Amino acid sequence: MMEEMGLPSYRGRQIFAAVQHRRLRSFEEMTDLPKDLRARLNERAQVATLTVESRYISEDGTRRYLMKTHDGLPVETVFIPEERRDTICFSSQSGCPLQCSFCLTAKLGLLRTLTAGEIVEQIHIALNDAYGEGGPTPRGTNLVAMGAGEPFLAFEPLMKALRIMADPAGLYIVPNRVTVSTAGIVPRIKELASVPDRPHLAISLAAPTDELRNELMPINKRWPLEELLGACKEFERSLKPGERFTFEYVMLDGVNDSEEQARQLANLLNRHDLRAKVNLIPHNPADPLPYRPSPPERVERFRQILESKGVHAFVRRPRGRDIYAACGQLAARRTTNMPALAQLR
């Protein structure tokens, strides 16, 4: 763009660093640029397009940002402080076209796929809020594409966003710090395997049989379990030594959490001999979802059965449930589960 405008190319690098490293949100703030250049830039480009509508802070420190695109659609991002590092969970779409029966985002339907810029901006907004505009990120940042939307239906903008964020002159968050979660878009799982410097992969399973998975995740009718695990097998070849991929399994009381289903799940994964682990996610309830979370003892029992059959399994601690920030709760809610909590801005 700088060349098109008849300017030296170092200006391009300077502006890239201002946006992607210093995380400035307007040309006005780039006071190291000549004033007339800032004015010219303002006429033909925009640094930021998302606006933060509200921010909710959980009692566990998790923050949810409810933002709006330039065309008025909701975008949500979650900042999760952890002991050793922070995780930012970003959205790839506004709403989601998949109709998983246990997920609140599904109720929005698909509004639109986000652009690469809108994906990157979410990270800027969360980091600026946590550390001050352009402030250093002392604890390191992991990213998960586990917000609203199906990242593999936003494949191109997502990959572009990851390239931008990996730039050492910018955010410098490399794909090795990023996990992309899919409901099981089989062709994209195979495609990701051949991407150099790819992110880690997580796959949402939710059921050990096609019969149940068809009901919970209709995408399973398009790509059933055998095809999905076949694609995982192909993907496995791209794993680095020591690297695993992850299956996510939401635990729904009385639906998919029995001992028999734990055995079925272990057998399914063992039959495909996959270098994977299972994250058990207690269901995050929300009106009008027709499920309850499995009791903790049942989740633990489920985990033990998986482990006893050689499948590594972990129970994920829900974060930000009280502010509609936990897995499957992003639906542009303008309230919190706990009205007493401070609602900022």
Residue 327 is a catalytic residue: yes
Strands 200-204, 178-182: pairing kind: parallel
- Nearest position to ligand SAH, beta carbon: 328
Using the rule CB under 6 A, is 248 a contact of ligand SAH?
Answer: yes
- Judge whether 76 counts as a catalytic residue: yes
Task: Tell me if 204 contacts ligand SAH by CB under 6 A.
Answer: yes
Give rounded-to-5 percent helix, strand, coil for the chain.
35, 20, 45
Q: Does the protein bind ligand SAH through residue 183 (CB under 6 A)? A: yes
Which segment (21-29, 175-183, 186-194, 238-246) binds ligand SAH by CB under 6 A? 175-183
Task: Rule CB under 6 A: say whether 246 interacts with ligand SAH.
Answer: no
Residues in contact with 178: Cβ distance below 8 Å, sequence separation at least 6, in sequence order: 142, 143, 144, 145, 162, 165, 199, 200
Give the x/- contact pattern for ligand SAH in 301-340, rule: CB under 6 A.
--------------------------xx------------
CA 199/CA 201 separation, integer angstroms? 7
Q: What is the DSSP string of 52-112?
A: EEEEEE-TTS-EEEEEE-TTS-EEEEEEEE-SS-EEEE--SEEE-S---TT-SGGGG-EEE
Two structure tokens written together for 6? 């008849």
Q: Is residue 121 involved in binding ligand SAH (CB under 6 A)?
A: no
Nearest distance in Å: CB 304, ligand SAH: 20
Tokens 């060349």, residue? 3
Q: Which of 18, 57, 67, 146 binds ligand SAH (CB under 6 A)?
A: 146
Q: Which residues are catalytic?
A: 76, 327
Interacting residue ranges for ligand SAH, rule: CB under 6 A: 102-103, 146, 150-151, 181-183, 204, 206, 248, 250, 281, 283-284, 327-328
